[in-house]
Amino acid sequence: MIKGHHAILIEKPQDAIRIMQQIGVDPGALPYMTPKAIHRCLLLKDIKAQAALILKQEMLSRGGEAAIRRSALACQGETDVLLMGTLRQFELLTDKIARQPFGLAKLAVEIKQILGNLQTETQTMELANGKSLSLENRTVIMGILNITPDSFSDGGKYLQTDAALARAVEMTEQGADIIDVGAVSSRPDAELASETEEIERIAPVVERLCQQGITVSVDTFRPRVAEICLQIGAHLINDIGRLQLEPGLLEILVEYQASVVLMHNRLQMRRGEPYNDIVADIIAELQESIDQATSGGLDRSKIIIDPGIGFGKDVAQNRLLIKRLWEFKSMGLPILLGASRKRFIGQTLDTEVHDRLEGSLAVAALGIMNGANIIRVHDVLASKRLAQMMDAVRNEQ
């Protein structure tokens, strides 16, 4: 008789609980067994050899594993550490090293934080000017509205306020939750518009959209532009400079209690600097801006992170970031993915900018599966349908 034996994919504690409940496991045993069902791998960077050896010894004694550099076995220098174990093994490990020297007590806190972040989902984000954004069990659609003469995809189409408003309403009707308005092209070869030009382009459009009750994100790195737009009703600032391009933006965000997207960028900053480990490097640079924001008075719950697809990454690196997007969940913040119609899609498929729908949808689907909470898109209707289907499958019990 064929039994139907098979492997089970368990990604969350709820998955393990559901299966054990189906089996009929004693409810009292669930809290003890659930942490054993989920296996995690954590990469720790630049750990002192003495600490790495303790980590390895303690993890091995609990049935887990820790991979370290060979030279660290002789207590020499520093090493990255790959920790491998179940949630239960990590729990026992952190309890033990919390009382150890060589920086291990601090590391125990950081390990617990990362593991907690992987299991925690943001429910609702409070935006500026009385708006909120639900992120619970759904993918948020951010529609792109470029009011520039030279954007790579639709430059020049929506320069007039009425045309911009009509396009925003159309995208909202197609399912966009947020309209992201940008008045300066971030193309590598684009001429940077002045602050005055940016304000003259963007302020009338933002004001009209807010009057229509549309949730508005403003794509700017300039403090004065952000301030004017927040004064007239904008709800979110999308900063391609992660607070580094112009001083003063953080103070504006704090004053208006505005949420912000912090995007990684090696196009305008640190251009040409090679990556060591691209995900680790991006996480470290984003964390630098997060620390700056929270130290300056912005609540952490106001921050969204964006790995910055296309901004100082080559084709292979962009594809790798999509593949490894899940790793950014370690930071415990909502993830925005902005890959729609970008050059790496065209270079992969050999297509021009207006012939990249299928590639954009494929990237969006992979992004959603790998943890993206918000996708920034040109093709709203197709992307909305894709996201609805993805969400329905992911939320199925």
86-100: pLDDT as tens digits: 999 999 999 999 999
pLDDT of residue 155: 53
Do 47 and 81 meet the contact criterion of CB atoms below 8 Å apart?
yes
Q: Which of 131, 342, 356, 384 is catalytic?
A: 342
Q: What pLDDT is stored for residue 193 in this prediction?
A: 86
pTM of the model: 0.93
384 catalytic per annotation: no
Number of other residues whose CB lies within 10 A of the CB of residue 41 = 10
pLDDT at 20 over 90: yes
DSSP 335: B
Reference 261, options 237, 293, 229, 297; nearest CA is 237
Whether the pLDDT of residue 1 is over 90: the answer is no
pLDDT of residue 160: 85
DSSP 8-state assignment for residue 36: G
Per-residue CA distances from 368 to 152, 249, 313, 333, 393 (Å): 24, 30, 21, 15, 11
**If pLDDT is split at 50, 70 and 90, which confidence band does 397 have?**
confident
Provide the token pair at 292. Answer: 């700056």
Give the separation between CA 143 and CA 229, rounded to whole angstroms: 18
pLDDT of residue 74: 83
> What's residue 140's pLDDT?
98
> Does residue 320 surpass a pLDDT of 70?
yes
- Residues 350-391: pLDDT tens digits? 999 999 999 999 999 999 999 999 999 999 999 999 999 999
For the structural domain made of 124-394, what CATH number should be given? 3.20.20.20
Is residue 213 classed as helix, strand or coil in its secondary structure? coil
Kindly report, residue by residue over 174-225, the tens digit of the pLDDT. 999 999 999 998 766 667 889 999 999 999 999 999 999 999 999 999 999 9
Instruction: Classify 36-119 by CATH class.
Output: alpha beta
List 167, 222, 356, 376, catalytic entry: 376
Query: Residue 44 and residue 56: Cα distance in Å, rounded?
Result: 12
C-alpha angle 162-165-170 in degrees, rounded to nearest 5: 125
**Residue 150: its pLDDT value, please?**
60
Q: How far apart are CA 340 and CA 90, in angstroms?
A: 38
Q: What is the mean pLDDT of the chain?
A: 93
CA distance 254 to 297: 6
Structural domain spans, the chain = 36-119, 124-394
Residue 286 is predicted with a pLDDT of: 97
pLDDT (0 to 100) of residue 5: 86
Cβ within 8 Å of residue 151, ≥6 positions away = 182, 185, 187, 190
Tens of pLDDT, residues 234-290: 999 999 999 999 999 999 999 999 999 999 998 777 777 889 999 999 999 999 999
Is residue 342 among the annotated active site residues?
yes
Angle between helices 278-295 and 315-323 (to 10 degrees): 70
